[in-house]
Amino acid sequence: MRRRGSDEAYEPLAASRPVDEECPCQEGMRPQAGLGRRQLLLSAASTLGATALAAGAARAAESAPPGSVHYDVPEDPTKEQGRPLLADGGYGTRSQFETEVRSKANNPTDLTSWTFTPLAAQIGNLTPSGLHFERHHGGIPTIDPARHELVVHGMVGTAKKFSVADLKRMPSVTRKHFIECSGNTLTEWAKPTAKNVQVTHGLLSTSEWTGVLFSTLAREVGLKEAALWVLAEGADAAVMTRSVPLEKLLSDGMIAYGQNGEALRPEQGYPLRLLLPGYEGNTHIKWLRRLQVSDRPFMTREETSKYTDLMPDGRAKLFTLQMGAKSVITFPSADMMLPKPGLYEIKGIAWSGRGRVQSVEVSTDAGKTWRPANIENVAEPMCTVRFNCPWAWDGQAATLQSRCVDETGYVQPTREELVRLRGLNSVYHYNAIQSWAVAADGGVSNVHA
């Protein structure tokens, strides 16, 4: 059902945006003279809308970006009262001037497809829940939590079923972790393909997750001596299943019901999902309904015919579960335009499925020389960090790269190193250094350097 490989075509991001939209380079640019032009244009348009003939409410509502409500902008907000509280019904929306959305892959059906997080626009280290990337294999199910159960059985002392309320009564943990699809960046093996960082790296998102550790559940059911693997199963139309090493589940596996301070979003597995820090996204089974403990893996469709890595000799690797250390510059990045030479703050994200990010380096000469980047937040295990590095652009062509090292000593590889080790047909787990070319005119594009 999934299509894969280099024949995969993504919907150009531009198709989902207004044609005349400014490039996203306005944000974060230095020197910055007041508002970006895009914001000015939007403000002007809104002011016109307010002062000219009142646009109909229905039409105005249509013009508000997803997740926002359109309000007329007053000439001077200090000269009239604003809105009363709870006019939003008690659940807030984002500003009508914020337009970032997920974009989708161009697949035959939107029921088994994926969406990309707009990484270049992300502010801070956490992905807003509504912008978290998605990968579905049978659409997004609607599940009533009052009727949902998690069954734990197999090689256990006592098979048990837990309601969502049961799980919420148990001791919980709250941890920040990224989830990355192992197909992230898969278009880039042979040649630079994707238009911008949303499409090259947008199958990555970071959240604060809250839930019950698997080890806590294990104490309730008991584990039999020979147990080694656990099958996790979802309650969607794909009835998604993956086998997970018991050792991983006992070390930090979590049954999550919370994301960024509220319940999981439906597209993220409401009411329950499996969280396996650092493991490929497909194993974080959404709409989790069942855990079956076994002494061997089940060899499900996803872990044999799909998420396996084909090597040059024609054999394939099973259970390449951990995501490798990886980083990417989000500003400047492809599809942006630098207006003129000057001082810029290179910004990006780094992460590793094997532990904390230890350090990040940035190159502006295609990897010939490297400088250490500043890490903006405290590095946590299997969690993204944001990095930045000042750069005085002299107006000459430049190639920007970042690379990271994790606390295990794993250095993010070059593309050449990855290809030498794995060939060009392994599809998944592409974590090579990404290159962005800045042309003399300031245009930024996706290249292989």
Partner 1 sequence: MSTLKFGLAALALSLGASAAFAETLEVGAPASDQDLARYFAIQPDGEGLPPGSGTVSAGAKVYGERCAACHGDKLQGVPAAGGAPLVGGRGTLSSAKPVKTVESYWPYASTLYDFVWRAMPFDQPGSLSPDEVYAVTAYVLAKGGVIPEDATLDASSLPKVEMPNAKGFYDGRGPDLPLYNAGR
Contact map string, positions 394 to 413, toward partner 1, x by CB under 8 A: --------------xxxx-x
Residue 226 touches partner 1, criterion: CB under 8 A: no
63 binds partner 1 (CB under 8 A): no
Other CB atoms within 10 Å distance of the CB of residue 9: 12
Q: Smallest Cα–Cα separation from 284: which of 203, 381, 169?
A: 203
Candidates 92, 195, 78, 181; CA nearest to 136 is: 181
Choice from 220, 228, 342, 419 touching partner 1 (CB under 8 A):
220
As measured in angstroms, the least distance from the Cβ of 183 to partner 1 is 14
- DSSP lists the bridge partners of residue 372 as 361
Q: Please tell me whether residue 142 binds partner 1 under the rule CB under 8 A.
A: no
Of 333 and 412, the one with the shorter C-beta distance to partner 1 is: 412
If one asks whether residue 359 binds partner 1 (CB under 8 A), the answer comes out as no
Contact in structure between 152 and 291 (CB atoms under 8 Å): yes
Return the bridge partners of 348, or none: 329, 387
Q: Binding to partner 1 (CB under 8 A): which residues in 296-335?
A: 296, 298-301, 304-305, 308-310, 312-322, 324
Which span sits near partner 1 by CB under 8 A: 30-38, 163-171, 256-264, 364-372? 163-171
Say whether the peptide bond before residue 277 is cis (omega within 30 degrees of 0): no
The DSSP call for residue 303 is I
Residue whose entry in the numeric block shows the structure tokens 């630098």: 338
In angstroms, what is the minimal distance from the CB of 356 to partner 1?
Answer: 16
Nearer residue to partner 1 within complex by CB, 39 or 216: 216
Q: How far is CA 80 from CA 73, 76, 77, 445, in A?
A: 11, 7, 6, 46
Cα distances from 193 to residues 5, 11, 12, 79, 435, in angstroms, run 12, 12, 11, 51, 12
Residue 217 CB, shortest distance to partner 1, in Å, is 8
- Judged by CB under 8 A, the chain residues 82 through 111 that form the site for partner 1 are 107-109, 111
Q: How many residues bind partner 1 (CB under 8 A)?
A: 72
Min separation Cβ 219 and partner 1, Å = 6
CA distance 122 to 205: 10
- Contact in structure between 171 and 212 (CB atoms under 8 Å): yes
Of 181, 186, 375, give the one whose Cα is nearest residue 284: 181
Considering beta carbons, is residue 42 or 405 the nearer one to partner 1? Answer: 405
Which CB atom, from 238 or from 276, has the smaller least distance to partner 1? 238
The answer for residues whose C-beta is within 8 angstroms of residue 31's C-beta and 6 or more apart is 342, 343
Closest approach of partner 1 to the CB of residue 363, in Å: 17
Min dist. Cβ of residue 334 to partner 1 (A): 26
Question: Please, what is the minimum distance in Å from the beta carbon of residue 404 to partner 1?
Answer: 13
CB 13 within 8 A of CB 199: yes
- Using CB under 8 A, which of 54, 87, 239, 343 touches partner 1? 239
Q: Which of residues 415-444 bind partner 1 (CB under 8 A)?
A: 417, 421-422, 424-425
CA distance 70 to 64: 5
Distance, CA of 399 to CA of 14 (rounded, Å): 24
Quote the CA–CA distance of 152 and 289 in Å, as a whole number. 9
Rule CB under 8 A: say whether 153 interacts with partner 1: yes
Choices 29-37, 50-58, 288-296, 396-404 (CB under 8 A): range interacting with partner 1: 288-296
Residue 233 binds to partner 1 (criterion: CB under 8 A): yes
Residue 415: phi, psi to the nearest 5?
-60, -40
User: Interface with partner 1 by CB under 8 A: which range of 21-29, 42-50, 148-156, 258-266?
Assistant: 148-156
Is residue 279 within 8 Å of residue 249, measured between CB atoms?
no
Which of residues 208 and 220 has its CB atom nearest to partner 1 in the complex?
220
Question: CA-to-CA distance for 324 and 322, rounded, in angstroms?
Answer: 6
350 part of the interface to partner 1, by CB under 8 A: no
Nearer to partner 1, 29 or 360 (CB): 360
Report the residue from 57, 159, 378, 439 that binds partner 1 according to the rule CB under 8 A.
159
State the CB neighbour count (10 A cutoff) for residue 202: 29
187 lines the binding site for partner 1 (CB under 8 A): no
What is the sign, positive or negative, of the torsion defined by CA atoms of 51, 56, 62, 65? positive
Stretch that binds partner 1, among 52-60, 215-223, 334-342, 366-374 (CB under 8 A): 215-223
**Of residues 69, 151, 223, 263, which one binds partner 1 by CB under 8 A?**
151
Show the site string, 244-273: x = touches partner 1 by CB under 8 A, - = not.
-x----------------------------
